[in-house]
């Protein structure tokens, strides 16, 4: 059995930098033509010049036989002024601004502690049509980690969308039924969904031993939330589309006393999504989710080339090179039912 679809895009991706790019860029470009590239480097990508320079490093790591268009983003901090937003909106390779609540995830120390001082910048984004890409969690130490996404919707995102209704928002890597319902109630916004949040729930990570390569942020939730994500992703609604949040870390940084959050899925992400859509009985809706709905939200053309998946049991490689070490793949050493032709 084969499935041919329009070549997809990845609307939420971590490529890292420097030596890592020699692995992450070709691993992504084998499947995806475009990707929204996260700006959480050290130092963070806060200026147009920094975004352009990062894009040049990414393209320098692209093999000559491949095609790939990295779509750049800025990291929202108090230094990102309305003037920078206007410059970014006039720069063809920049397609969004990323909101990291301070301390929410990897390299988020530079994120904003509060949106109170950011309203002029956010209003300018609404004016010029530059999307806000949101990591939707509160970071208060006294709030249970499994509740942080739902509370963010109530405390932060709901009021923001009331105050600036014209702001274009992508709620990224959603993990809860609450987020699915929030997005549905706001037809002007969109959400990305990862393969790992569709495949796993928190028992998979914690029951019978801790599995560090399933640890991600936002963290895996109960099965009822995973089921809500599957229903949203396979619904055919254009508000929900593919964003892998593929986030590589060296294996030693994952398997440590304080392991890093992130799952590496770039090389085989489309096969993982195909498994989910097939199991849900909606394989015919994978193309919309993977290839059509994201470009529509970002006001970009649909790709003109195609990719083919073959239904054939295939073992996922355990690891890939990552600088001077390795990065483990999600489901490494396991069998998946699909592979890229």
% residues pLDDT > 90 (the chain): 95
% residues pLDDT > 70 (the chain): 99
244 φ/ψ angles, rounded to the nearest 5 degrees? -70, -30
Token output for 305: 């080339």
Q: Please, what CATH class does the domain formed by 10-266 belong to? A: alpha beta
Distance CA 237, CA 190 (A): 10
Reading phi first (left if > 0) and then psi (alpha if -120 to 50, else beta), residue 103 is in: left
Instruction: Give the confidence band of 283 by pLDDT, cuts at 50, 70, 90.
Output: very high
Domain coordinates in residue numbering, the chain: 10-266
pLDDT of 217 over the 80 cut: yes
Instruction: Give the confidence band of 43 by pLDDT, cuts at 50, 70, 90.
Output: very high
* In the block, residue with structure tokens 């709901």: 158
94 φ/ψ angles, rounded to the nearest 5 degrees? -105, 130
pLDDT of 72 over the 90 cut: yes
Whole-number pLDDT of residue 110:
78
Instruction: Give the confidence band of 23 by pLDDT, cuts at 50, 70, 90.
Output: very high
Whole-number pLDDT of residue 102:
85
| Longest pairwise C-alpha distance within the chain | 54
For every residue of 102-164, DSSP letters joined together read TTSSTT-TTSBS-SGGGHHHHHHHHHHTPPEEE------TTS-GGGHHHHHIIIIIHHHHHH-
Q: How many CB atoms lie within 10 A of CB 257?
A: 4
Convert the pLDDT of each residue in 82-125 to its tens digit: 999 999 999 999 999 999 988 777 767 778 888 988 999 999 99
Convert the pLDDT of each residue in 171-215 to its tens digit: 999 999 999 999 999 999 999 999 999 999 999 999 999 999 999
Question: Is 245 noted as a catalytic residue in this protein?
Answer: yes
Whole-number pLDDT of residue 84:
98
In terms of residues, how long is the chain?
Answer: 341
Instruction: Give the confidence band of 160 by pLDDT, cuts at 50, 70, 90.
Output: very high
Whole-number pLDDT of residue 113:
83
Whole-number pLDDT of residue 224:
98
Whole-number pLDDT of residue 319:
98
From the candidates 10, 69, 245, 257, give the one annotated as an active-site residue.
245
pLDDT of 133 over the 90 cut: yes
């Amino acid at each position: 059995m084969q499935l041919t679809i329009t070549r997809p895009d990845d609307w939420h991706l971590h490529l890292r930098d420097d030596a890592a790019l020699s692995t992450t860029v070709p691993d992504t470009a084998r499947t995806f033509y475009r990707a929204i590239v996260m700006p959480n480097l050290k130092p963070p990508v806060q200026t147009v010049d920094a975004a352009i320079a990062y894009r040049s490093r990414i393209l320098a790591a692209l093999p000559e036989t491949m095609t790939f268009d990295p779509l750049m983003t800025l990291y929202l901090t108090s230094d990102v002024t309305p003037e920078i937003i206007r410059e970014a909106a006039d720069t063809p390779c920049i397609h969004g601004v990323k909101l990291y609540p301070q301390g929410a995830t990897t390299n988020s120390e530079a994120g904003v502690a509060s949106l109170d001082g950011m309203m002029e910048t956010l209003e300018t984004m609404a004016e010029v049509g530059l999307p806000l890409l949101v990591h939707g969690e509160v970071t208060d130490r006294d709030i249970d980690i499994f509740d942080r996404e739902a509370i963010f919707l109530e405390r932060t995102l709901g009021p923001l969308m009331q105050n600036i209704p014209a702001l274009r928002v992508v709620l990224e890597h959603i993990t809860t039924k609450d987020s699915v319902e929030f997005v549905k109630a706001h037809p002007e916004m969109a959400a990305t969904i990862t393969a790992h949040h569709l495949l796993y729930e928190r028992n998979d990570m914690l029951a019978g031993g801790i599995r560090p390569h399933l640890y991600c942020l936002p963290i895996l939730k109960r099965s009822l939330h995973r089921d809500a994500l599957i229903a949203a992703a396979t619904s055919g609604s254009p508000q929900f589309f593919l964003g892998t949040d593929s986030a590589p870390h060296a294996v030693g940084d994952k398997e440590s006393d304080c392991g890093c959050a992130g799952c590496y899925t770039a090389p085989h992400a489309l096969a993982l999504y195909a498994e989910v859509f097939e199991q849900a009985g909606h394989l015919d809706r994978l193309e919309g989710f993977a290839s059509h709905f994201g470009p529509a939200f970002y006001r970009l053309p649909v790709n003109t080339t195609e990719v083919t998946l073959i239904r054939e049991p295939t073992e996922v490689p355990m690891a890939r090179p990552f600088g001077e070490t390795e990065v483990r793949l999600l489901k490494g050493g396991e069998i998946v039912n699909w592979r890229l032709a």
